[in-house]
Amino acid sequence: MKKMINSVESLLEESLNGFAKAHDDIIQLNHQPRFVARKQKAKQGKVALVSGGGSGHEPLHTGLVGQGMLDAACPGQIFTSPTPDQMMAAAEAVDNGSGVLFIVKNYAGDVMNFEIAGEMLDCEHATVLVSDDVSLPKDHSTGRRGVAGTLIIEKIVGAAAEAGASLLECKTLGDRVNDNTASMGVALTSCTVPALGKPTFDIGDNEIEMGVGIHGERGREPMDLASAEDIVEHLANVIDAELKPQSGQKVLLHVNGFGATPAMELYLVFDLAVKYWQQRGVEIERSLVGNYTTSLDMAGCSITLTLLDDELIQLWDAPVHTANLRWGQ
């Protein structure tokens, strides 16, 4: 294992210290319990958005704290859920009097700990459960996982909250975006968790894992290495069968890198995905390409499609200013 670290034990704290210093105009880091919050608290009466999860997926979620997105994020240890006391402290710190919306990826530890935190909170709260990973069936025992679609929900709901939407309106909107979002990923390599010191699963030189999650899990099926065109078609077929976009439907297309795939390859994947859906009459209205929901040093990517309407387009375009996503005023 070759990593730029001092020790496994100090890695997260040192990384967060660097992140806080690099973006001290946007965020502030609370050490005990650990959470990242906006440096300038949002206006009174705005619904507060809080998310979080295991570290190793950066810039999700800490890099998405700021105007137009999250009010706070709780980072756990690598691939490990944050604790309820982190979530509770973060929620109490950013509550503006109109309630707190938790945006939670559907993983057992995250779901359980956010539920515990919610039970201890005195303020009004609600939860959006993200379950965009269509590599798993809807009737999977623990439900579908939350993956790269999380960012899209955080951006759209964040814009609505900034514009004055109520807690119920934010919750309803988040659920609607989740229902209209589908993602699927492919890994070319595994990833190496520092505490483990070796790849989380074995994969041959001429193999790929189709349908991987973002925590170093194996995919739903190993496949022989194929051309990028074949890989994209396989991913897109599953997504298309799930969402069934009609000709003329406007969509957001997000190609997300898992951490070790260069931008050159991600844009190639995006081009192939655009061609796939344009041939079916689907209109690529908005796009996002890059490493946003990563899995440490895994090579590979995911494709996410979100069905859009005029309201969702307006909310996606609304100003945002975070460490890793920013546009508008």
In a domain, 259, yes or no: yes
In a domain, 134, yes or no: yes
Contact 186, 299 (CB under 8 A): no
What does the pLDDT look like over 120-176, one tens digit per residue? 999 999 999 999 999 998 888 788 999 999 999 999 999 999 999 999 999 999 999
- Positive or negative: CA dihedral 170, 70, 67, 124: positive
What's the pLDDT at 294?
A: 98
Choice among 23, 61, 125, 215 that is catalytic:
215
User: Where are the alpha helices (H) located in the chain, listed in sequence order?
Assistant: 11-22, 84-94, 108-120, 149-162, 167-179, 228-243, 263-278, 310-317
67 and 146 share one domain? yes
In a domain, 81, yes or no: yes
Find the CATH number of the domain harbouring 256: 3.30.1180.20
Contact 299, 261 (CB under 8 A): yes
119 and 71 share one domain? yes
- Positive or negative: CA dihedral 85, 154, 233, 243: positive
- Positive or negative: CA dihedral 193, 139, 51, 173: positive
**Is 254 marked active-site?**
no
- Give the residue numbers spanning the domain of 41: 11-180+317-327
133 and 24 share one domain? yes
Find the CATH number of the domain harbouring 159: 3.40.50.10440
143 and 204 share one domain? no
Choice among 57, 61, 125, 254 that is catalytic:
57
Judged against a pLDDT cut of 90, whether residue 256 lies above it is answered with: yes
Structure token digits, residue 23: 């973006």
Which of 264, 282, 279 has the alpha carbon at shortest distance from 228?
A: 264
Contact 249, 180 (CB under 8 A): no
In a domain, 2, yes or no: no
In a domain, 3, yes or no: no
pTM of the model: 0.97
32 and 107 share one domain? yes
What's the pLDDT at 219?
A: 87
Judged against a pLDDT cut of 80, whether residue 72 lies above it is answered with: yes
Preceding omega of 61 cis (within 30 degrees of 0): yes
Residue 63 three-state SS: helix
What does the pLDDT look like over 280-302, one tens digit per residue? 999 999 999 999 999 999 999 99
176 and 229 share one domain? no
17 and 73 share one domain? yes
Structure token digits, residue 34: 């650990």
In a domain, 4, yes or no: no
Residue-by-residue DSSP string for 216-264: S---SEEEE---HHHHHHHHHHHHHHHH-PPTT-EEEEEEEE-BSS-HH
What are the distances in angstroms from CA 114 to CA 16, 238, 310? 21, 30, 32
Dihedral in degrees, nearest 10, Cα atoms 235, 241, 242, 246: 110
Q: Give CA–CA dist 288/301, Å, rounded.
A: 13
The count of structural domains within the chain is 2
Helix, strand, coil percentages for the chain (3-state, nearest 5): 30, 25, 40
What does the pLDDT look like over 244-254, one tens digit per residue? 999 999 999 99
Q: Give CA–CA dist 216/68, Å, rounded.
A: 30
